[in-house]
Chain A
Amino acid sequence: MDFLRPASWEEALAAKAEHPTAVPIAGGTDVMVEINFDHRRPEYLLDLNRVGDLYEWEVGEDSVRLGASVPYTTIMERLRAELPGLALASHTVASPQIRNRGGVGGNLGTASPAGDAHPALLAAGAEVEVESVRGSRRIPIDAFYTGVKRNALAADELIKYVHIDKADGPQQFSKVGTRNAMVIAVCAFGLALHPSTRTVRTGIGSAAPTPVRAKAAEEFLNAALEEGGFWDNGKIITPSVAKQFAELCSGACNPIDDVRGTASYRRHAVGVMARRTLTWAWESYRGTAARSEGAA
């Protein structure tokens, strides 16, 4: 095993080009466990801790450019207003110690369906900026996950930033685990209201081979909200709409039975979380709408 220690982004890209099998390591949450337990013996480890760009973030007009290694703790504490869904998801990642070192780049690189950031990224709308010595490109989050623990990265590419739309409305994230902290998701659900486009987006974790959106549910809800004039009148969403949305979210799952839970429980729980997160987000939207009306 060789340990590559690039001091800059350019050096990191060059190293990855020279050794495409090199395994990037930043927070170490996944890679070190595999090494400690003898599940993996990569030829090269590519340490990204010294690449400063990956630890920076920039809040722009419409979106946040989030360095791949910005720790979850920082996202929770510093980006709660701009990225509320991701901040909630970050708070459920493992333990304080791991949140202090792990970042979204690790979740994306591993592309496990259980990664906590995925549902929030899917719901918010994000693009993953990847780069190699050949150049850089932005992959829409919907096209990023290509299979079980597989993503759209080429062998010589590294994840640099994630561009996430700034929240234009309430966002929620919910995750089921068998204990109250430090737990891998049995399943998870992210939801974002986008009042500017009058759309709702979703993300489901751990209930299909890859993180997925519940597109049929989104389409149904978008239509129902439009039809009922909900975005304008700020009424409470009718229980039947919430129920059907929940059922469609369950239907978007394609889960398995494993040691963490049964497939049928995952489907059930995603439905419950979908209904609850929609209710919370919508309540918050109504509250905000009421307040801004009052101010006007």
Chain B
Amino acid sequence: MRVNFTVNGRPQEADDVWEGESLLYVLRERLGLPGSKNACEQGECGSCTVRLDGVPVCSCLVAAGQVEGRDVVTVEGLAEHARQRSCGDAHGTALDEARGRQAQGTDSQTGEGTELAPIQQAFIDAGAVQCGFCTPGLLVAADEMLERNPDPTDADIREALSGNLCRCTGYEKIMDAVRLAAARQQEAV
């Protein structure tokens, strides 16, 4: 079957989709967006977390056919999503502006010059990334929590991220990163 939906602000079309495919598979294998990770494919680890019509979900538990006509944000679109939020621009970027940024270019190999969302920068700065496999899902979940709850307690952070497993860090640096992002967000206001 064919599925049309929006990913990170861009219309996408996937063809020849097997009916049993998940949104995760379509993103990773058909649309060239492997940032969402395939760690368990049973909704237990949160590595595949994306926002579906704004809401964090496990993309491994969304059938591809269910996203027809809907809006998805993945880790690849997180920086742009955060930028639009900070501009108070809820309706997407003007096309020219988007092209302008694209033309500046980033070195996709080194990541140098890449614009990051505050939560992404905080994860790097706090040492919250080791193997990094859980990172994309955690970033999407944490970013959404800070959107709803800009001044979270530690218990709030733990609850919001309880659907995202990490095997490397022991979560302490992840806590640090989210606290750091929240603090920076408050300073910026």
Binding site for B on A (CB under 8 A): 1-3, 5, 25, 27-29, 31-33, 35-37, 41, 45, 47, 49, 94-98, 100-101, 180-182
B152 at the interface (CB under 8 A from A): no
Binding site for A on B (CB under 8 A): 1, 18-20, 22, 41-44, 46, 49, 52, 55-58, 60-63, 65-66, 68, 141, 159-160, 162-164
Residue with the greatest number of chain A CB neighbours at <10 A, chosen from B22, B61, B164: B61
* CB atoms of A28 and B163 under 8 A apart: no
A-B residue pair count with CB separations less than 8 angstroms: 92
* Partner pick for B20 among A27, A35, A47, CB 8 A cutoff: A35
Q: What's the nearest-Cβ distance from chain A to residue B143, in Å? A: 13
* CB atoms of A96 and B19 under 8 A apart: no
* CB atoms of B66 and A36 under 8 A apart: no
- Beyond A3-B1, A32-B61, A95-B163: 19 further Cβ-contacts under 8 Å? A1-B19, A3-B19, A5-B65, A25-B66, A32-B43, A33-B41, A33-B42, A33-B43, A35-B63, A36-B22, A45-B20, A47-B65, A94-B163, A95-B43, A95-B46, A96-B160, A97-B43, A97-B57, A101-B62
Taking A35-B20, A95-B46 as contacts, is the C-beta distance between A45 and B65 under 8 angstroms? yes
* CB atoms of A182 and B61 under 8 A apart: no
A181 contacts across to B, CB distance below 8 A: 159, 162-163
Q: How far, in whole Å, are A3 and B20 apart by their CA atoms in the complex?
A: 8
* CB atoms of B20 and A29 under 8 A apart: no
B19 contacts across to A, CB distance below 8 A: 1-3, 45
Q: What's the nearest-Cβ distance from chain B to residue A48, in Å? A: 9
B60 contacts across to A, CB distance below 8 A: 32, 36
Which A residue sits closest to B21, measured CB to CB? A35
* Partner pick for A41 among B1, B20, B61, B162, CB 8 A cutoff: B20
* Partner pick for A29 among B43, B56, B66, CB 8 A cutoff: B43
Taking A33-B42, A37-B41, A182-B44 as contacts, is the C-beta distance between A98 and B66 under 8 angstroms? no
Residue with the greatest number of chain B CB neighbours at <10 A, chosen from A31, A33, A37, A41: A33
B1 contacts across to A, CB distance below 8 A: 3
Q: What's the nearest-Cβ distance from chain B to residue A202, in Å? A: 28
B49 contacts across to A, CB distance below 8 A: 97
Q: What's the nearest-Cβ distance from chain B to residue A52, in Å? A: 13
* CB atoms of A182 and B162 under 8 A apart: yes
* CB atoms of B56 and A32 under 8 A apart: no
| 5 A-B interface contacts by CB (under 8 A) | A2-B19, A5-B68, A28-B63, A33-B43, A37-B41
Q: How far, in whole Å, are A41 and B1 apart by their CA atoms in the complex?
A: 17
* CB atoms of B41 and A36 under 8 A apart: yes
A37 contacts across to B, CB distance below 8 A: 41-42
Q: How far, in whole Å, are A94 and B164 apart by their CA atoms in the complex?
A: 11
B22 contacts across to A, CB distance below 8 A: 32, 35-36
Which A residue sits closest to B1, measured CB to CB? A3
* CB atoms of A97 and B56 under 8 A apart: yes
* CB atoms of B163 and A47 under 8 A apart: no
Taking A32-B63, A49-B66 as contacts, is the C-beta distance between A98 and B42 under 8 angstroms? no
A180 contacts across to B, CB distance below 8 A: 162
Q: How far, in whole Å, are A101 and B19 apart by their CA atoms in the complex?
A: 20
A45 contacts across to B, CB distance below 8 A: 19-20, 63, 65
B55 contacts across to A, CB distance below 8 A: 100-101
Taking A97-B57, A97-B58, A182-B163 as contacts, is the C-beta distance between A28 and B66 under 8 angstroms? yes
Residue with the greatest number of chain B CB neighbours at <10 A, chosen from A2, A5, A94, A97: A97
* CB atoms of B61 and A101 under 8 A apart: yes
Taking A3-B19, A5-B68, A33-B43 as contacts, is the C-beta distance between A97 and B163 under 8 angstroms? yes
Q: How far, in whole Å, are A240 and B78 apart by their CA atoms in the complex?
A: 58
A25 contacts across to B, CB distance below 8 A: 63, 66
Which B residue sits closest to A25, measured CB to CB? B63
Q: How far, in whole Å, are A35 and B61 apart by their CA atoms in the complex?
A: 10
Q: How far, in whole Å, are A36 and B22 apart by their CA atoms in the complex?
A: 8
Q: What's the nearest-Cβ distance from chain B to residue A28, in Å? A: 4
A2 contacts across to B, CB distance below 8 A: 19
* 7 A-B pairs closest in CB distance: A95-B163, A181-B162, A1-B19, A28-B61, A3-B65, A3-B19, A36-B41
